Amino acid sequence: MSTLTFTHVGGPTTLVEVDGWRILTDPTFDAPGRTYAFGWGTSSRKTTGPAVAAADVGDVDAVLLTHDHHADNLDDAGRQLLGGAPTILTTVPGARRLGPPAVGLRPWATTTLTHPDRPTLTVTATPCRHGPVGSRPVAGAVIGFDLSWEGQQHGSLWFSGDTVLYGGVRQVAERRRVGTAVLHLGGVRFPVTGPLRYSMTVDDGRELCRTLKPRTVLPVHYEGWSHFVDRPAALERPELAPDPGRTTWAEPGRPVVVEV
């Protein structure tokens, strides 16, 4: 049985180790306490620091960056870490801002990560909308990532990215066989925009999983920041996967082994 090791560092930041590959997502390693502006009158305070220090992450083969322009997905310490990454996959405008070695992908574009001693990883960018209809010019471009490789038995590994539940995300269930879903939740809201949501809630995640039918669900990005209004629901550790016992609320810093 093929397995991967998943470590939730905190927020959206995860480390995935599989068949010799070490993949880091959305690096956030700043200390807590600071308030960051997100634009258009929105801001959020970081309330929890990373469970793994940037210096302790070690070498990584690639960084999957869902977007570069919000500090809860890429902060100052995370930007420093990018300097040592040989490959960075992100949005097209994000790659322009970051420069080489960042590579920009549009939704449903595919690239590969290769190594002579490891299975080839096929990375497919998936759609995101980081807010309500019409919010993209303000919230900016975001993508998710779907990873597949030879030897997977239950389906691909999918990172949803920061997104609300909408038609583009539902396309993932139609176009990919997802075995492990890493879902960005939190139900983000800001006082200046009232009831509008900018990421999925626990209920959204459960609804998506009814269609997606993943074997394993790993929720992330629901804690550690003041703009997560759905955090109390997340702390109840509800089931999101269709089958009981398939949702793992990984304790930050503690590796979890997942069958893939």
Q: Would you state the structure tokens that stand for residue 255, as one six-digit string?
A: 């590796």
d(CA 155, CA 164): 23
Q: What is the pLDDT of residues 148-180, one digit of tens each?
A: 999 999 999 999 999 999 999 999 999 999 999
- Please indicate whether residue 129 or residue 236 has the higher confidence score (pLDDT): 129
Q: Would you state the structure tokens that stand for residue 185, as one six-digit string?
A: 């939740």
Average pLDDT along the chain: 96
- Cβ(18)–Cβ(260) below 8 Å: yes
Diameter of the chain measured on Cα atoms: 51
pLDDT reported for residue 137: 84
Q: CB count, 10 Å around CB of 194?
A: 7
d(CA 252, CA 260): 21
Q: What is the pLDDT of residues 22-55, one digit of tens each?
A: 999 999 999 999 999 998 889 999 999 999 999 9
pLDDT reported for residue 199: 98
- Checking if the pLDDT of 1 tops 70, the result is no
pLDDT reported for residue 252: 97
Long-range Cβ pairs for the range 97-102 (8 Å, 24+): 97/68, 97/69, 98/68, 102/65
pLDDT reported for residue 41: 85
d(CA 101, CA 104): 10
- pTM score: 0.97
Q: What are the backbone angles phi and psi of residue 258, rounded to the nearest 5°?
A: -120, 130
d(CA 74, CA 98): 11
- Cβ(167)–Cβ(201) below 8 Å: no
Distance (Å) of CA 133 to CA 162, 198, 239: 15, 10, 28
- Cβ(140)–Cβ(69) below 8 Å: yes
Q: What is the pLDDT of residues 53-80, one digit of tens each?
A: 999 999 999 999 999 999 999 999 999 9
Question: Which domains are present in the chain?
Answer: 3-251 (3.60.15.10)
pLDDT reported for residue 138: 81
Q: Show the CA angle centred on residue 50, arms to residues 46 and 55, nearest 5°.
A: 130
Q: Show the CA angle centred on residue 63, arms to residues 59 and 65, nearest 5°.
A: 155
